[in-house]
Amino acid sequence: MNVPVSPAETLRASLAGLLDGLPPRQAAQAVERLIANYRGATPTDAPILRDRADVAAYAAYRMPATFEAVSAALAAFADAVPGWVPGSHVDVGGGTGAATWAVSATWDGPREVTVLDWAEPALALGREIAAANPALSGVRWQRSRIGAALTIESTDLVTVSYVLNELTEADRAALVDAAASAAQAVVIVEAGTPAGYARVIEARDRLIAAGFHIAAPCPHSAACPIVPGEDWCHFSARVSRSSLHRQVKGGSLAYEDEKFAYVAATRLPVTPAPARVVRRPQIRKGQVLLDLCEADEHLRRTTVTKRHGDLYKAARDAEWGDSWPPAE
């Protein structure tokens, strides 16, 4: 009996093969240099990923985390728009295509897919990796400047993951506006830092102004109740660590948690979560503390105890980022 292999496992296997013949120390040094530079003040016309060795090392290190974060955001979006399946997808700044893998893992069926990125080596490697996934056989890998001059063809879904930090404020605004003009749905993922959250909120405001409804993570399309500078909204995705991860991080754990912030918005009718768990649930003796963003535009802590019966059992199983209460 053949056991189906998940897209995540297929991706990890493909990425492991990229490092064959590349000395581990060289791969680790490339990742360390790229981490230091890639999210910095690099002009958008000067890609950091210079050659295949750079891209292979960075992809092996970052693609699994990007895949898991985008998959989590897409799953929340799919819950809010049940029954909808994108027939086309444009991944802006998609590099080696982690978001395209996440979209294919979220929704079955064929679709037209285009990955836009400035770095030709990233696109070439993305095409190579995608050969392991039949759902990505027809993807177009297109070199394009990501910024004010960007043109996005009409599509059902646009994803933008870990890209906004590389752009100027004007280019970020232009990209979000272009996505809103082209797509029925836009999903944006950034690093789960205060600065990443600020960029997500900036994009969220522009999408709402363009007539979009927020599908996730927010249970409403009103202003975010978090006071700027006092806190930030972010979530966590569990990522299996490769040997390269352990070497670069100097750790021994088989996993790490990717912190990310996101917004998923659409012109379609939405049924957002009644409330969203916005911090890791705290399990105490006989009770669970849940920090929730609620539909009335407030943040509240809710205590669920054994007296709540089945709801208490659900609270013990609840995870950071889940809808609350759980669907029956």
pLDDT above 50 for 42: no
Buried/exposed code over 204-221 (b: 16+ C-beta within 10 A; e: otherwise): bebbbeeebbbbbbbbbb
150 and 52 fall within a common domain: yes
233 and 290 fall within a common domain: no
Output 151 or 21, whichever has higher pLDDT: 151
1 is a domain residue? no
Which band of pLDDT confidence, cut at 50, 70 and 90, is reported for residue 188? Answer: very high
261 is a domain residue? yes
Task: Decide if 147 contacts 175 (C-beta within 8 A).
Answer: yes
17 is a domain residue? yes
* Domain, as residue range, for 307: 275-324
222 and 299 fall within a common domain: no
27 and 46 fall within a common domain: yes
31 is a domain residue? yes
313-328 confidence digits (pLDDT tens): 999 999 999 999 987 6
Which band of pLDDT confidence, cut at 50, 70 and 90, is reported for residue 6? Answer: confident
Q: Which of 218, 240, 266 is the last residue of a domain?
A: 266
Contacts of 5 (CB under 8 A, 6+ apart): none
Name the average pLDDT for the chain. Answer: 88
The whole model's pTM is what? 0.91
> Average pLDDT, stretch 82-93?
97
279 and 259 fall within a common domain: no
Q: Which of 266, 288, 303 is the last residue of a domain?
A: 266
Please give the pLDDT value at position 50: 59
Q: Alpha-carbon distance 310 to 317, whole Å?
A: 11
Output 99 or 58, whichever has higher pLDDT: 99
243 and 280 fall within a common domain: no
Please give the pLDDT value at position 244: 61
Number of Cα atoms under 13 Å in the Cβ half of residue 44? 21
139 is a domain residue? yes
Which band of pLDDT confidence, cut at 50, 70 and 90, is reported for residue 179? Answer: very high
pLDDT above 70 for 47: no
Q: Alpha-carbon distance 309 to 201, whole Å?
A: 37
Please give the pLDDT value at position 4: 64
> Average pLDDT, stretch 19-35?
69
Q: Alpha-carbon distance 58 to 76, whole Å?
A: 27
Q: Which of 136-150, 184-198, 245-259 has the lowest mean pLDDT?
A: 245-259
pLDDT above 70 for 37: no
Q: Alpha-carbon distance 142 to 144, whole Å?
A: 6
> Average pLDDT, stretch 202-210?
98
> Average pLDDT, stretch 117-128?
90
pLDDT above 90 for 158: yes
pLDDT above 60 for 41: no
pLDDT above 70 for 1: no
Please give the pLDDT value at position 28: 72
Q: Alpha-carbon distance 143 to 158, whole Å?
A: 16
Please give the pLDDT value at position 43: 46
pLDDT above 60 for 203: yes
207 and 306 fall within a common domain: no
How far CA 250 is from CA of 36, 62, 66, 90, 242, in Å, comes to 16, 16, 20, 36, 12
218 and 295 fall within a common domain: no
190 and 282 fall within a common domain: no
Pairing of strands 112-117, 88-92: parallel
Share of the chain above pLDDT 90, in %: 67
pLDDT above 60 for 38: no
Token digits for 98?
Answer: 């982690």
Please give the pLDDT value at position 131: 92
Question: Could you tell me the CATH number of the domain that includes residue 108?
Answer: 3.40.50.150
Which band of pLDDT confidence, cut at 50, 70 and 90, is reported for residue 59? Answer: confident
89 is a domain residue? yes
258 and 220 fall within a common domain: yes
- Reduce the secondary structure of the chain to three states and give it as a string: CCCCCCHHHHHHHHHHHHCCCCCHHHHHHHHHHHHHHHCCCCCCCCCCCCCHHHHHHHHHHHHHHHHHHHHHHHHHHHHHCCCCCCCEEEEECCCCCHHHHHHHHHCCCCCEEEEEECCHHHHHHHHHHHCCCHHHCCCEEEECCCCCCCCCCCEEEEEEECCHHHCCHHHHHHHHHHHHHHEEEEEEEEECCHHHHHHHHHHHHHHHHCCCEEEECCCCCCCCCCCCCCCCCCEEEEEECCHHHHHHHCCCCCEEEEEEEEEEEECCCCCCCCEEECCCCEEECCEEEEEEEECCCCEEEEEEEHHHCHHHHHHHHCCCCCEECCCC
> Average pLDDT, stretch 272-294?
96
pLDDT above 60 for 133: yes
Please give the pLDDT value at position 226: 93
Angle between helices 7-18 and 120-130 (to 10 degrees): 120
The 8 Å CB, 24+ separation contacts for 236-240 are: 236/192, 236/260, 236/280, 236/320, 236/321, 237/65, 237/68, 237/69, 237/71, 237/72, 238/68, 239/64, 239/65, 239/68, 240/8, 240/12, 240/64
Domain count, the chain: 2
Most confident residue range from 8-22, 77-91, 114-128, 229-243: 77-91
248 and 306 fall within a common domain: no
156 and 299 fall within a common domain: no
Q: Which of 240, 266, 292 is the last residue of a domain?
A: 266
